[in-house]
Structure 1
Amino acid sequence: MRAFAALLDRLSFTASRNAKLRLIRDHLADAPDPDRGWALAALTGALSFTAAKPAMIRQVVEGRVDAELFRLSYDYVGDLAETAALIWPARHGANREPELSEVIDTLNTAKRGEVQGLLEGWLDALDADGRWALLKLVTGGLRVGVSARLAWQAAADYGGVEVADIQEVWHAQSPPYADLLAWLDGKTERPSAMAHGRFRPVMLAQPIDEAVDLPRLGPAAYAAEWKWDGIRVQAVSEAGVKRLYSRTGEDVSDAFPDVLAALDYEGAIDGELLVLREGRVAPFGDLQQRLNRKTAEAKLMASHPAGIRAYDLLAAEGEDLRALPFAERRARLETFVAAVGSDRIDLSPLVPFETWDELAARRAEPPPGDPQSAEGLMLKRLDSVYEAGRPKGPWFKWKRDPHLIDAVLMYAQRGHGKRSSFYSDYTFGVWTEDADGIHVLTPVGKAYFGFTDEELKQLDKFVRDHTLERFGPVRSVTATREFGLVLEVAFEGLQRSKRHKSGVAMRFPRISRIRWDKPAKEADELATLERLLEQASA
């Protein structure tokens, strides 16, 4: 457990991507089996312990520490695992420090009533770093700045293989990945990837630089299609095994049984998961109602019917099509989708054009019949094979320019992980008039990125210097017509929302600039957002 704790600790304080890769690679080289395999599973999000929940951890800690002291400490630190690890009063004479594999094996077989006692014993035996790592492990919220793809890249670097080779076999393996690691050690042949219903590594697009890329690209060599505003998925149905994967390879099948039932074919489709009503794309907010659920209620499936808008065909009737050029795969896809004949699966139409200027004009207009459903365009070389990763040149994404508004900071909340000491999550609002005609702020969004580390320090200082009230981990700040901090907020789109007091919800809001120079009274009004909504739906 000590080596795993040291790895998490160093990862949490390391900003450099290359440094994180070295740390994981070295851990794979130095740690024994099966601990290194379990560490890889933890970093990629492949572990889940249903019996150990945050509420149980609070209960365990409050059994040893005054509840009010714990609450105040949690409010100050901002991270449950870190607070519990630091405040835990270990008892002398505790048992030996557990190994990582021992913790995982025990939790996988423990009954719910046994978990609390197990946690107490392990917390007694570990030091503060070990306790922090243990609690991060059991809750699944590592928050050390490592994505599954970064961990795969580190494993690829360790074994001297391509990351696409790791992704190709990953879903045919299971933790603690003994066969995979033996292959990376050079002791065995590459494990078989031929599992039915497996995930294929996804091909991604490069953002286009209009000034640099368009002049050197020939329009005739590319096809264009809309970049739909949903989530990228891979819908696989092979030998009776049906799976729906996110672009990172996460199995999201349980949340979409209605889509899974429509996969009446033999093959693998790459497409966009959307809420589709009579063939029209619903706003992204409707899809959000279906995301991140372990199950789907019949009422929700009826009111928010999900489907797939197909982009590409990766496999059909046992044949791997990824080495074929896009033009040929596209032709096969059109025939394939027509043969499926499901109202849950339709074809993403190509956007006709002859010149880049013509396509730029099309990009500025919404897709016919779906005014709020596209983020921009995708460009794909007609001769491009389906290549895992983000190769330069074959595919480009040409997103619409984001909307910008000036809003006033209203509330701030502590972040997590390395940001747990900073107020880094910001709620902002725009002006509207109340029943008496007085200007008041109404919240319209929340953002926690878009600023530099130095700007974060400045924002944190502003929050601390101008706090009005505290609500647990949240602080309200001074925000009046005479004084307030204006934030320029960029966002991809708007939709109406009954969940928000303002009646609107933003898509992908982020801090574009801090307007230290702008008076709060000159921030935008809710009417500005209402006009944007009207224009989008016109």
Structure 2
Amino acid sequence: MNRFAELLDRLAYEPGRNAKLRLITDYFRATPDPDRGYALAAMTGALSFRNAKPALLRALIAERTDPQLFALSYDYVGDLSETIALMWPAEPGANHSPTLSEVVEAITQAGKAAMPGLIARHLDALDEVGRWAFLKLITGALRIGASARLAKSAVAALGTLAPDDIELAWHGLAPPYEGLFAWAEGRGPKPETGDPTPFRPVMLAHALEESDLAAISPETHAAEWKWDGIRVQAVGATVDGLPVLRLYSRTGEDIAAAFPDLVEALHFEGAVDGELLVRREGSIENFNALQQRLNRKSVTPKLVADYPAHIRAYDILADGEEDLRHLPFGERRRRLQEFVARVGSPRLDLSPIVAFASGEDLAAARADPAAGGAGADADAVEGLMLKRHDSPYVPGRPKGLWYKWKREPFRIDAVLMYAQRGHGKRSSFYSDYTFGVWSGDELVPVGKAYFGFTDEELKDIDRFVRNNTVNRFGPVREVVHGADAGLVVEVAFEGLARSTRHKSGVAMRFPRLARLRWDKPPREADRIETLRAMLDRAAATPEIETALPGD
């Protein structure tokens, strides 16, 4: 465990991708099975421990330290795991220092009653860095500045495989991945899962830069609408004579249980890539309608009837057992059109191609989807997708094949009201911000943001928060926010919805800080009437204005 902790500690302070890759690869090369397999699982988010809760950790540290001292320390440090790791009374030699595999297997198998004693024994046995890594691991808060893709690339670097080879074999494998490591090192065959409905790693797009637009033409690229839903992969097969349908999110999570209406309606053999949406009375609804169906533990008949799920397909990955990913996009598009017609379900349709002759045509369609051919579905559009006709379907985000060109975000000026410490490398900074706009003579919160600013701007805001705190609520600070004193921030956001849970009556979607307005007095920030006017201009429903970002 201490060796894994050392790796995480070094990764947290290493800014370069290639250096991170070398660190992880060297760790995999020097660490035996099954420890390196569990490390890979931890770095790719494949581990979870249901009985290791933050409340349990708070109770354990409360038994060993002064609660008031812990509260003060936690407020200063801003991260629960780091605070406990620093304050835990060291007992060198108290227990055998566990390996990573011993930790994972013990925590996985332990019942709720045994968990406190087990965690305490491990904390006694580990050093300070080991305690921090252990707590991050078991609470699911492992943020190390290295992506799952990078960890899989490190496995590929153990031999002659490419990162895409690992990605394509990944789904369906389970920790500690001994067969995967044997294949990567040339000691064994490619691991096979035998899953009749496997997930295929998704292909992603780069944001279109202004310089890229000149190379886009009808001869080289196809244009599609970028729909306001969530990316899904629908994979169907016949198993033991019965139809099976899996609905995978872009990360490979099967969400089919939340959409029984689609499972019942779609019967096919193959794999389709598309957008999960809600379609009512012949037209596609915006994201607010789909949101009623997401993250539901139970799905009622009324919910299904009120918000019928739909898949708008834009690519085909397999037709029956035939893998089509190597084909150029133009050929896959033809096969997809035939496939959708053959399935013949009202719950599955084809995402239309956007006709254009020039970059000006694309810009016009992006600015006004209704006039550009989206028609009644225009409010469910958040931009354009541009795909090379000759592009194969490959995992990850290959440069130059697919582009996304989102519509411009909405912007308002708001006033910073509250700030909270961040996590991981930001745990020493106040980096999570709540901001508001004027309603009469008072400010009402309308959103929270924790990105969009540079490292230097983060330091400036953190300094402002510390020097202008007027109240404290645990890890949250209230900062001065009056008509003549406070910090105005320009907020960019992708959507706006009416909300009964917020005092302002509105809620933003994906807000971020676009600019710090040190030059502007708070009295000149926007008013709630500005946001309500945005809602009133929504064409389809009074609930939401625009779209969800993402691929």
Q: TM-score, normalised by structure 2?
A: 0.91
Q: CA deviation at 1:297?
A: 5.8
Q: CA deviation at 1:170?
A: 0.4
The percent of aligned pairs where both chains have the same amino acid is: 61
Q: CA deviation at 1:290?
A: 4.3
The aligned counterpart of 1:165 is: 165
Residues 453-473 of structure 1 show CA distances to partners (whole Å, capped at 9, x for unaligned) of 111111001001111111111
Judging changes above 3 Å, is the alpha-carbon distance between structure 1 residues 252 and 68 closer, same or farther for their aligned structure 2 residues?
A: farther
Superposition misfits of 4+ residues, deviation over 6 angstroms: none
Structure 1: how far apart are the matches of 2:22 and 2:297? 35
Q: Partner letter of residue 503 of structure 1?
A: G
The aligned counterpart of 1:436 is: none
Structure 2: how far apart are the matches of 1:56 and 1:292? 26
Residues 314-350 of structure 1 show CA distances to partners (whole Å, capped at 9, x for unaligned) of 1111111112222222222223223334443332222
Q: CA deviation at 1:191?
A: 2.4
Structure 2: how far apart are the matches of 1:285 and 1:82? 38
Q: Partner letter of residue 352 of structure 1?
A: A
The aligned counterpart of 1:368 is: 375
Q: CA deviation at 1:32?
A: 1.3
The aligned counterpart of 2:431 is: 424
Q: CA deviation at 1:294?
A: 6.0
Residues 380-416 of structure 1 show CA distances to partners (whole Å, capped at 9, x for unaligned) of 2233222222223332211112222111111101000
Judging changes above 3 Å, is the alpha-carbon distance between structure 1 residues 293 and 7 closer, same or farther for their aligned structure 2 residues?
A: farther
Q: Partner letter of residue 431 of structure 1?
A: W
Q: Partner letter of residue 235 of structure 1?
A: A
1:405 to 383, 403, 412: 412
Are the equivalent residues in 2 in contact too, given 1:227–1:377 (CA < 8 A)? yes
- Greater CA drift, 475-484 or 51-60: 51-60
Structure 2: how far apart are the matches of 1:112 and 1:300? 35
The aligned counterpart of 2:451 is: 449
Judging changes above 3 Å, is the alpha-carbon distance between structure 1 residues 99 and 396 closer, same or farther for their aligned structure 2 residues?
A: same
The aligned counterpart of 1:392 is: 399
Structure 2 residue ranges without an equivalent (≥5): 541-551
Match runs of 1:107-506 below 5 Å: 107-192=107-192, 195-210=195-210, 212-240=211-239, 241-292=244-295, 296=299, 300-366=303-369, 367-433=374-440, 439-506=441-508
Q: Secondary structure at the match of 1:137?
A: helix
Q: Secondary structure at the match of 1:370?
A: helix
Q: CA deviation at 1:288?
A: 4.0
Q: Partner letter of residue 271 of structure 1?
A: G
Q: Partner letter of residue 16 of structure 2?
A: S
Q: Partner letter of residue 487 of structure 1?
A: V
Are the equivalent residues in 2 in contact too, given 1:238–1:266 (CA < 8 A)? yes
Judging changes above 3 Å, is the alpha-carbon distance between structure 1 residues 305 and 10 closer, same or farther for their aligned structure 2 residues?
A: farther
Judging changes above 3 Å, is the alpha-carbon distance between structure 1 residues 300 and 114 closer, same or farther for their aligned structure 2 residues?
A: farther
Q: Partner letter of residue 368 of structure 2?
A: E
Structure 2: how far apart are the matches of 1:300 and 1:275? 11
Residues 200-225 of structure 1 show CA distances to partners (whole Å, capped at 9, x for unaligned) of 12112222223x22323322332211
- Greater CA drift, 273-282 or 76-85: 273-282
Q: Partner letter of residue 217 of structure 2?
A: G
CA RMSD of aligned residues (A): 2.2
- Greater CA drift, 503-512 or 244-253: 244-253
Q: Partner letter of residue 334 of structure 2?
A: A
Judging changes above 3 Å, is the alpha-carbon distance between structure 1 residues 151 and 368 closer, same or farther for their aligned structure 2 residues?
A: same
Structure 1: how far apart are the matches of 2:38 and 2:222? 43
Residues 424-456 of structure 1 show CA distances to partners (whole Å, capped at 9, x for unaligned) of 0011111221xxxxx221111111111111111
Judging changes above 3 Å, is the alpha-carbon distance between structure 1 residues 285 and 19 closer, same or farther for their aligned structure 2 residues?
A: farther
Q: CA deviation at 1:510?
A: 1.1
Q: Secondary structure at the match of 1:270?
A: strand
Check if 1:17 corresponds to 2:17.
yes
Q: CA deviation at 1:251?
A: 3.5
Q: CA deviation at 1:352?
A: 2.2
- Greater CA drift, 191-200 or 507-516: 191-200
Judging changes above 3 Å, is the alpha-carbon distance between structure 1 residues 426 and 88 closer, same or farther for their aligned structure 2 residues?
A: same
Q: Secondary structure at the match of 1:118?
A: helix
Residues 40-94 of structure 1 show CA distances to partners (whole Å, capped at 9, x for unaligned) of 0001000111121222222222232333333332222221111111111244652
- Greater CA drift, 473-482 or 81-90: 81-90
Structure 2: how far apart are the matches of 1:302 and 1:401? 33
Structure 1: how far apart are the matches of 2:33 and 2:387? 43
Structure 1: how far apart are the matches of 2:289 and 2:152? 32
Structure 2: how far apart are the matches of 1:527 and 1:113? 54
Q: CA deviation at 1:17?
A: 2.4
Are the equivalent residues in 1 in contact too, given 2:34–2:101 (CA < 8 A)? yes
Are the equivalent residues in 2 in contact too, given 1:409–1:429 (CA < 8 A)? yes
Structure 2: how far apart are the matches of 1:46 and 1:288? 26
Q: CA deviation at 1:291?
A: 4.0
